[in-house]
Chain A
Amino acid sequence: MILIRDGRVIDPATGTDKVQDVLLDGAGIERTGPSINAPDAEILDARDLIVAPGFIDLHCHLREPGQDISETIETGTRAAARGGFTAVCCMPNTHPVNDNASVTRSIIERAAAGASVRVWPIGAVSVGSKGEALAEIAAMQEAGIVAVSDDGRPVATAKLMRQAMDYCRSLGLPVIDHCEDPSLAAGGVMREGPRSIRLGLKGIPAESESICVGRDVEIAALTGARLHIAHLSARASLAHVRAAKKQGLPVTCEVTPHHFTLIDEDVVYDTRYKMNPPLASREDREALLAGIADGAVDAIATDHAPHHPASKDVEFDRAPFGITGFETALALALTELVHTKRISLMRLVELFTTGPVRILGIERKIAGGEPADLTIFSVNHKWTFRANESASKSRNTPFDNREFVGAPMATIVGGNIVWRREVAAAM
């Protein structure tokens, strides 16, 4: 038994925000309440800390199977635990692609053997994510996928998207799309704008994303399927999502910490600033911040995309897209969203917990009988993120050496403390 003592429990699912104790028994939550008496329990002192439902990352790349030079399920989930995540959804663009039940099962088996946190695989929409035939989605669902996506690329055609949405509606699975018009984006390495012109780097216009979001929203209306827009970055894309929500369509979206923190003007000839979608304009970032505050954005997702140092230590044009994100996500959210008073702590927790699980059709809350998946964090702990101390195998992050106020402090999955921040004892 573990007794989490005197933490400020914030749970958007129940509207709770009060200092109380949480008693864990085995893999579950026993009960919550003021001053719980449990003499045999291990005490976890959470004074001045927030106790939240376990954070869920809807979007990451664990690179296993096939690219374990960059990451493995073991290293990736260790980094996730350090970021406060208790469950992560891994995208199917592995080698081989997770487009069939045997790959799904192997991911789940490897996770059972060595993952620090829960791993919820996302299956491919199409065979090999090639955009031609639908993958064996029902078989993958039985094996354990929680959604489908051809992430890394968009669902190739409107026709395939329509088929996938019709089918997934019947299966009760959300379709997650990486929205991009390949003809507009071709060859691009950063957002098109004054900065790309100055650097002489080929730009990707915002419309590359928003045109595809518009397409998907229309198909969601046609089919009634659950559509989730991955790593939304452009103001015009968010306008489509807002319009869809206004019509009552089951359309949701996520935003990454790097898109609400950085903009295209921050890009230099350093491949740690190369990701897809690329860092957007100042106006786009403002629109994302507004959407995060008013509810148009449903979740924060990291798009943790580890790449081996050698693959990133090349010309900007040649580098792969993507940055790591687990360990900095909460600190960036606190810095950019909470410390700036753009959102409340309750809203922040919602974006990492009830927001993402609702998209997957799951419920999570802090209450007796629920799984003991909890994230404990501090809003005022001062620390410096150092990429070379990361649990990830990769180092590709623009946030190396950044000083933060606020950090994950402990991660509990199924009643086990899978990670705890080592803090020098206060003098």
Chain B
Amino acid sequence: MPQRLRHLLGIEPLSAEQITFILDQAKPFQEFQRHPLKKLATLRGKTVALAFFEPSTRTRISFATSAARLGADTMNLQAESSSLKKGESLIDTVWTLEAMKPDGIVIRHAASGAADFIARRVDIPVMNAGDGTHEHPTQALLDALTIRDRKGRLDSLNVTILGDILHSRVARSDIHLLSKFGARITLCGPAMWVPRELECLAPNIHREPRIETALAGADVLIVLRVQSERIHEPPISLDDYILRYQLTPERLRSAKPDAIVLHPGPIIRGLEIDPAVADGTQSCILEQVTNGLAVRMALLFQLVSGAAPDAPHPAKENFA
């Protein structure tokens, strides 16, 4: 049994064994999503606080649904309605939530390190649902589950990540995770979004400015969203981006024939990805969404239930 997690703040501090354990625990929850009655009593009586200080649709709904399917109640804090608008500090907001006695807190925040900041100041498990440009660990876990399912393994894959790597927390978490399993990672995008320091994140990372070269021999392609809200800093023309970096069916042919395409969403069709690729057989985009539930249920079960790591799996126990 791997060392028990207290929080999930990032992928970087996890061992490969801890990651594998979460993915293994997620497997039965994948099956469970197909069941007509999607409700367990595992976390009945438990409450999970969802503190989304930054707008989010899919991650928030995914965590809320995962908690509900495990039988937990949720408290919702959303950026738009938050008392932060009234000038309350992050820590005061979190302490207020904590005083309502949740059993765990999921946090999404625009500041890198926000989850770490909170974890050092509260007594309940903290799950990072994305902190600034630092990490988005559950996204990397669901990506890993998707890759493992499709490729049959996580080890020693050729992975190419396309887009704005510098500002992407998804890219950092994916890099940390896949590197722990020996991936060779190629980063490709406009040069100002792919600074050389990224090669220091883990072993076997290199940068390649030409997309055709970057895709050659790839088993897995991770296409990042072009954050158009950030497009002015540093300035780049969207037309240039499409011309040089859009993942088109022609470019996809440079990768291995059985290469798979991942995207953390939301996708912008016709910008970073050609619709034919997004909807093609190599695309895993909707599987990723479904796997997000399985991974987040596994995580909530592990962190919030208080069950021992070797406790019977709730989805197996009830539905096997």
Interface positions of B from 9 to 33, Cβ below 8 Å from A: 12
**A318 vs B116: C-alpha distance when bound (angstroms):** 15
Known: A269-B117, A313-B91, A315-B90. A197 touches B112 (CB 8 A): no
A200 touching B197, Cβ below 8 Å: no
Known: A269-B113, A318-B111. A200 touches B169 (CB 8 A): yes
Q: Is A144 an interface residue (CB 8 A)?
A: no
**A147 vs B132: C-alpha distance when bound (angstroms):** 41
A192 contacts across to B, CB distance below 8 A = 197
Q: Is B134 an interface residue (CB 8 A)?
A: yes
B112 touching A199, Cβ below 8 Å: yes
Known: A269-B113, A269-B116, A316-B111. A200 touches B200 (CB 8 A): no
**A204 vs B137: C-alpha distance when bound (angstroms):** 26
Known: A314-B90, A316-B113. A197 touches B131 (CB 8 A): no
B60 contacts across to A, CB distance below 8 A = none
Q: Is B114 an interface residue (CB 8 A)?
A: yes
Interface positions of B from 111 to 144, Cβ below 8 Å from A: 111-114, 116-117, 131-135
CB within 8 A of B89: which of A197, A199, A314, A317?
A: A314
Q: Is A198 an interface residue (CB 8 A)?
A: yes
Known: A317-B111, A318-B111. A198 touches B89 (CB 8 A): no
**A314 vs B94: C-alpha distance when bound (angstroms):** 12
Known: A313-B91, A314-B89, A314-B90. A201 touches B197 (CB 8 A): no
CB within 8 A of A200: which of B90, B112, B117, B195?
A: B112
CB within 8 A of B91: which of A193, A197, A200, A314?
A: A314
A200 contacts across to B, CB distance below 8 A = 112-113, 131-135, 169, 172
Q: Is A96 an interface residue (CB 8 A)?
A: no
**A50 vs B111: C-alpha distance when bound (angstroms):** 47
Q: Is A194 an interface residue (CB 8 A)?
A: yes
**A202 vs B111: C-alpha distance when bound (angstroms):** 10
State the total of A-B contacts with C-beta under 8 angstroms. Answer: 59
**A202 vs B166: C-alpha distance when bound (angstroms):** 10
A316 contacts across to B, CB distance below 8 A = 111-113, 117
B198 contacts across to A, CB distance below 8 A = 197
**A193 vs B111: C-alpha distance when bound (angstroms):** 18
| Shortest Cβ gap from B298 to chain A (Å) | 25
B113 touching A315, Cβ below 8 Å: yes
Known: A200-B172, A314-B89, A315-B114. A194 touches B134 (CB 8 A): no
**A202 vs B230: C-alpha distance when bound (angstroms):** 14
Known: A313-B91, A315-B90, A317-B132. A201 touches B113 (CB 8 A): yes
A193 contacts across to B, CB distance below 8 A = 197
| Shortest Cβ gap from A263 to chain B (Å) | 14
B197 touching A315, Cβ below 8 Å: no
A315 contacts across to B, CB distance below 8 A = 90, 109, 111, 113-114, 117
Q: Is B201 an interface residue (CB 8 A)?
A: yes
A198 touching B201, Cβ below 8 Å: yes
**A402 vs B113: C-alpha distance when bound (angstroms):** 24
**A40 vs B109: C-alpha distance when bound (angstroms):** 68
| Shortest Cβ gap from B200 to chain A (Å) | 4
Instruction: Write the B196-209 contact mask toward A (1 if CB under 8 angstroms, else 0).
Output: 01101100000000
A197 touching B195, Cβ below 8 Å: yes
Instruction: Write the A271-311 contact mask toward B (1 if CB under 8 angstroms, else 0).
Output: 00000000000000000000000000000000000000010
Contacts A197-B201, A200-B133, A314-B91 known; list 6 others, CB within 8 Å: A199-B113, A201-B112, A201-B132, A269-B113, A313-B91, A318-B111
**Footprint of A on B, CB under 8 Å?**
12, 89-91, 109-114, 116-117, 131-135, 166, 169, 172, 195, 197-198, 200-201
Q: Which 8 A-B pairs have the closest CB atoms?
A: A200-B134, A269-B113, A315-B111, A200-B112, A200-B133, A194-B200, A197-B197, A317-B111
**Listed A/B pairs (9) with beta-carbon separation below 8 Å:** A194-B197, A196-B197, A197-B197, A200-B113, A201-B133, A269-B117, A314-B91, A315-B111, A316-B111
